[in-house]
A and B are shown apart, each in its own frame.
Chain A
């Protein structure tokens, strides 16, 4: 009996330790899950923060992401590495949170510029305003464009990682990002002109 190397093509190698943590978490082991959260919380908080612009809200949403992850882990099938799945759960949760936030109330005033950031306070504030408009503009894109662009700018993923996370060919990622950015640029032309290059650091 020789092992059949062609039988099951392991798609992508996942860190065995990570796999173990995922398996143990799925069986309800909270210590394992804590380690999993420890590994990935920065990633998820960053995603939520970039997408929502408020540090406190970002932490809440990131916690919600992990609670969902824990609840759905027993049905996660290891078809793709855990992080790709995590990015999808995060994307859905963050998109919902952003939509909810816009629907329920205009909380723009709550969006505080991050404290303790270096630089001229006026520059920081201007940059903050600009990012808020960018987020709003992204939210108005058609869903495919919006979600793909979100994976690039909020999740900080490469083209290849986006392709794997969404299960689409890399060419699709290229054309979506190209179209998304051209649309966005169109919408921003006026704004950038009006602000007179406030976005150059």
Chain B
């Protein structure tokens, strides 16, 4: 219960601030009854705390405050979108190499038709038809972004199921869709529409989660995993410093080699279903 003077002097400020655990606070209090030096110090610290108690600022007019910020923000939209697309591409490349996209399996809706389903290629045919029927370029971009998101979900689900070929195939299609959508996103008429914004937000959020999952998994044995993620991040950081760089559509520099997977093959399930004419297989 009793405490040495030396130890007590280490704890006086936290004691005065009420930041010590109960037992330690009690021990300090006991020491104070028998040590004049520490009692003086406590009084001094209390006085100091009063001098350190700075009050809050006078009220702020938010409207003017925000206006001052807004006029200095970079013309953000097109650039930010290009960045998201580029970030997506870099990440997709990294993830294709890693296949560590194992977030919780429960995150994926069970009614989704996944690449290992017998009717999966029918779903893809349907998508192609929808893309072909899309009248305007803008609508097409929105659809492409939505489909890219779908591919990302599939890749995650396939990675969880340890079907790495299918995960890789989905990621490659994900990449192709974003590359396709890239140039149009620089056009504000297409990119500033709220539904495009929403999809991009979702996409960014998904990517952040995937990235976190990838980083968490990369902790132990696999040094290479970490290197790949680091490379991707370094490239992104560089990208952010150079926002004028024509990002969309360009392939990220160091595309990492897939680790233990050969080029994606069509799964046997998929080949049971007739392939649409003229549709490039993923």
Interface on A for B, CB 8 Å cutoff?
A: 1-4, 7-8, 19-20, 23-24, 26-30, 33-34, 37-38, 41-42, 45-46, 48-50, 55, 58-60, 62-63, 66-67, 70-71, 74-75, 77-79, 114-116, 130-131, 134, 152-154, 158-159, 174-175, 177-178, 180-182, 184-185, 188-189, 192, 199-201
Closest-by-CB residue of B relative to A69 is B69
Contact A23 B205 (CB under 8 A): yes
Binding site for A on B (CB under 8 A): 10-14, 17, 19-20, 41, 44-45, 47-48, 50-58, 60, 62, 65-66, 68-70, 72-74, 76-77, 79-81, 83-84, 87, 102-107, 160-161, 197, 200-201, 204-205, 208, 211-213, 216-217, 236-237, 240
Given contacts A7-B104, A199-B47, contact A41 B80 (CB under 8 A): no
Q: Are B105 and A28 in contact (CB under 8 A)?
A: no
For residue A136, give the distance in angstroms from its CB to the closest CB of chain B. 12
Within 8 Å by CB of B161, from A1, A79, A159, lies A1
Q: Specify the main secondary structure of chain B where it touches its partner.
A: helix
For B47, B57, B213, the residue with the greatest tally of chain A CB atoms inside 10 Å of its CB is B57
Q: Which residue of B lies closest to A9 (CB)?
A: B216
A23: B residues at CB distance < 8 A: 201, 204-205, 208
A153 touches B54 (CB 8 A): yes
Chain B residues near A2 (CB, 8 Å)? 105-106
A-B contacts, 9 listed (Cβ < 8 Å): A8-B103, A26-B80, A26-B204, A28-B80, A55-B57, A70-B76, A74-B80, A74-B236, A199-B50
Number of A-B contacts defined by CB within 8 Å? 170
C-alpha gap A192/B81 in the complex (Å):
57
- Give the residue name and chain of the B residue nearest to A58 (CB): B57
When the two chains form the complex, which single residue of A66, A74, A75 contacts B69, counting CB atoms closer than 8 Å? A66
Q: Is the CB of A63 within 8 A of B68?
A: yes
Residues of A contacting B83 with CB < 8 Å?
74
Partner of B58, one of A34, A60, A114: A114
- The answer to whether A37 and B57 have CB atoms under 8 Å apart is no
What's the minimum C-beta distance from A6 to chain B, rounded to whole angstroms?
11
> Do residues B54 and A131 form an inter-chain contact, with CB atoms below 8 A?
yes
For the complex, give the distance between the alpha carbons of A80 and B217 in Å: 17
The 3 closest A-B pairs by CB, nearest first: A28-B80, A49-B57, A1-B105
Q: Please determine whether A7 and B57 come into contact, CB atoms closer than 8 angstroms.
A: no
Residue in chain B with minimal CB distance to A189: B44
Please, which residues of chain B bring their CB within 8 A of the CB of A180?
Answer: 13
